[in-house]
Amino acid sequence: MATLVIAEKPKSAERIAHALSDGRYEKESQNKAPWYVFQRNHEQFYVVPAVGHIYGLQQASKGFTYPVFDVEWVETFKKDKSANYAKKFYNNLQRLAKKCDSFVIACDYDTEGEIIGYNVLRFICGQSTAARMKFSTLTDNELQQSYEQRMAQLDQGLVDAGLVRHFLDWFWGVNTSRALMAAVKQNNRFSILSIGRVQGPTLAVLAEREREIQAFEPQPYWQLYADTNDFTAVHTEQRIFEKARAQQIYDASQQNNAEVTGVKQQQKQVKPPTPFNLTDLQREASRALKLSPSRTLQMAQNLYLAGLISYPRTSSQKLPASLGYKHILQDLQKRCGYGDYVKHLNLEQLQPREGKKSDPAHPAIYPTGQRPGKLEQDAYRLYDLIVKRFLATFGQPCQREATKAHLDINGHEFLAEGIRTVKSGWTALYAPYTSLKEQPLPQLTEGNAVSIQQVRMEEKETEPPKRYTQSSIITELEKRGLGTKATRSDIIESLYHRQYIRDTPIQVTQLGMEIIKTLETYSPAIISEELTRQFEQDMESVMEQKKKKDIVLEEAQEQLKAIMQQFQENEAAIGEQIIAALDETRRNERYVGVCPDCDNELRIITAKQSKKRFVGCTGYSDGCRRSYPLPQTGMAKPTQDTCNECGDPTVKIIRKGKRPWELCISTECPSKEEWNKKQQKQKQTKTSQSKKKH
């Protein structure tokens, strides 16, 4: 017979086949779904990929009532038409499993990977367990070692924790979402709404910040500055809330010179950064590369599948010595173009600076040293960031000198602060991603006079708390123990998709605010952080085999039944509160601007027959025919901004896996020249193809 190796995705399957066969494998396929065949030690091997989850949970009975807990695992393509692509991979697994008597799971080593492999194993292969490969990179050496040292069976704690997560997410997501939709239906309306297990508390965190901003009342204050030719000093009171006092200091400080009354210098040592875990990577990519957390995760996953970095879904800030630092650095030096950086490290004495966080399954994210080849621009920038962060962890501390100089201007104290790098250390390895600012002061001596160019008084206002960015809310969720490293960015995307939030920094829509307000009044447990954290802790206990999965699920069902009963008692009132906010949010999501012809609204409209979208005037019934074409791919969102070139409104086109594109709606705008050329070329191509057919 033979051995079936079950991989998570086609790309990883090919890399596993290459490693285990020393490159001597054959690729076969059916309906463009591949698998790989080779001989190893005179035994036949089939490496067959799933394509993510082949099975998903579905309600076993019919009906749209709630609460509901009777669920079953079914093939994804049977419950969701958009997953039809999975059927051909399912067919391959089913057919080839019959040829094999030995099975190895080689999916990613986490709860999701374990469930993917476990479901294939039990539902297709008819097995309860199998050998398990455990790896953090898709390099030949590690994959070969992973196979030779494979575990005798699946990690049962990981399996049970994965099952609990899937059941809890289904129980919570389906029942609470049905409850919301039923509440709206009670008021003779229909809308698709959701409020998942982590989604609800996340929205509540964002709504709380929105309330703080809305309730904030700015206070005026004044600041005084003394400008010299080389630097600016600030009055030591920083914020003066009495204008009369600020004016008094300003008037008294109109002098040509200031006396340096004290100079204090302090040497500071800035330690190297810690290695990236997923949250750190998402935060840093947002700061340095302006990439959203979801895009960062997607590209990091692709870099992992290409064998260029280790598994990105990790919580760890640890780089164990067993990785072989020297070998990786030598490969980065010789094969990847980082020789000018690696030469600054002592390869015989390598000790990375590590953080406190660990992960039992995977180390921190690190480059493998494989040659990157051709990468699209954003992917290369992310790869470069990961490489240089890895290099920087081995660097020397950065030496900084901070200077504080106190100036006296007619009895009033001003402070000038400066900082400069004395010895670059690790920052040279992390260039250009360092965020340390250079603001040196000239040589100042106590007792000397400094020439003052002017003293300024500026009126300002206290500012409300800052809105969360996608990166900062993910960091906040991690601090609060909500969600997982792998799911937080998806949760944020879901909130955008449901129109509960908009823009960056994140603003909660009226619909999002009303849902939180309504749930706080009638069903606060749905958005409870404590309850969500409790479930996360329970799943951790299941993974560590300290708690039985069945007990966790029974407890969750009882809690959810009580929550849903309370919800049902207030269904009509809940729906009534949500509907007005739903209408207003939908209107805002389509509103583009004011029609230049008739002063009615310009909105994003989808034609009923052709299903094509465009920007059109709401005064159509009164005879206005003003309209503008839009791209037909991606999601179109109003920006509430106007074009810098022509002053017309703009829309944002959001395409999966690509940067958002801000587009002026006017076809005559100079900024549209390239787009117009592209549209014309597409029309010419279609016309030419049509003529050839006839």
Shortest CA distance to 221 belongs to which of 465, 459, 457, 456?
459
C-alpha to C-alpha distances, 497 to 291, 492, 635, nearest whole angstrom: 18, 9, 10
Bridge partners of 259, per DSSP, are: 408, 449
Tokens of 651: 């829309």
Dihedrals φ, ψ of 89, to 5°?
Answer: -75, -40
Tokens of 324: 């072989």
**Are 161 and 543 within 8 A, CB to CB?**
yes
Alpha helices in 111-197 (DSSP H): 111-123, 140-148, 156-185
Rg for the chain, CA atoms, rounded: 30
CA separation for the pair 585, 95 (Å, rounded): 50
Tokens of 140: 């030949």
The residue type at 214: Q
Please confirm, yes or no, whether 225 is among the known catalytic residues.
no
C-alpha to C-alpha distances, 287 to 311, 386, 438, nearest whole angstrom: 22, 14, 18
Give the side-chain half-sphere CA count within 13 A for 664: 18
CA separation for the pair 200, 193 (Å, rounded): 12
CA separation for the pair 658, 656 (Å, rounded): 6
CA separation for the pair 469, 279 (Å, rounded): 14
Catalytic residue among 36, 118, 311, 430: 311
Give the side-chain half-sphere CA count within 13 A for 563: 25
Angle between helix 571-590 and 156-185 (nearest 10) = 90
**Are 86 and 76 within 8 A, CB to CB?**
yes
CA separation for the pair 429, 393 (Å, rounded): 9
Bridge partners of 415, per DSSP, are: 234, 406
Coil, strand or helix at 614: strand
CA separation for the pair 209, 253 (Å, rounded): 40
**Are 632 and 655 within 8 A, CB to CB?**
no
| Total residues belonging to the chain | 694
CA separation for the pair 57, 481 (Å, rounded): 25
Angle between helix 470-480 and 293-305 (nearest 10) = 80
**Are 365 and 273 within 8 A, CB to CB?**
no
CA separation for the pair 119, 140 (Å, rounded): 27
Q: Which residues are catalytic?
A: 311
